[in-house]
Amino acid sequence: MTEQDFRDIGARLASAFRLSTRPLAVYGSEVLPAGIPPMNGVNRCFAVSLFRMATGNAVSAIYVSADTSEGCCMGGLYHTGFIPVPDDIGYFVSTGRKDVRGGAAEYLKASPDLVERCTAAAGPIHPPGKYLVVQACEALPDPGPGVRSICCFGTGEQIRNMAALIHFDRDDPFSPVIVPWGSSCSTFITFPAGLAENTPHDTAFMGPQDPTQNHSMPPEMMALGIPADMAARMVNNLDASFITRRPQVAFPNHEGGLKR
- pLDDT(78) > 80: yes
**179: DSSP letter:** -
Contacts of 218 (CB under 8 A, 6+ apart): none
Percent of the chain with pLDDT over 70: 95
- Closest by CA to 222, choosing from 203, 212, 207, is 207
The string of pLDDT tens digits covering residues 110-119 is 999 999 999 9
- Closest by CA to 100, choosing from 112, 82, 113, is 112
Local confidence band at 2 (pLDDT 50, 70, 90 cut-offs): low
- Output the average pLDDT for the chain: 94
Contact 157, 19 (CB under 8 A): no
The string of pLDDT tens digits covering residues 222-253 is 999 999 999 999 999 999 999 999 999 999 98
- pLDDT(142) > 80: no
The string of pLDDT tens digits covering residues 10-32 is 999 999 999 999 999 999 999 98
* pLDDT for res 34: 87
Average pLDDT, integer, range 71-76: 92
Question: Is the model more confident about 240 or about 71?
Answer: 240
What is the C-alpha to C-alpha distance for residues 138 and 235, in angstroms, rounded to an integer? 16
Tell me if the pTM is above 0.85. Answer: yes
Contact 50, 63 (CB under 8 A): no
* pLDDT for res 260: 57
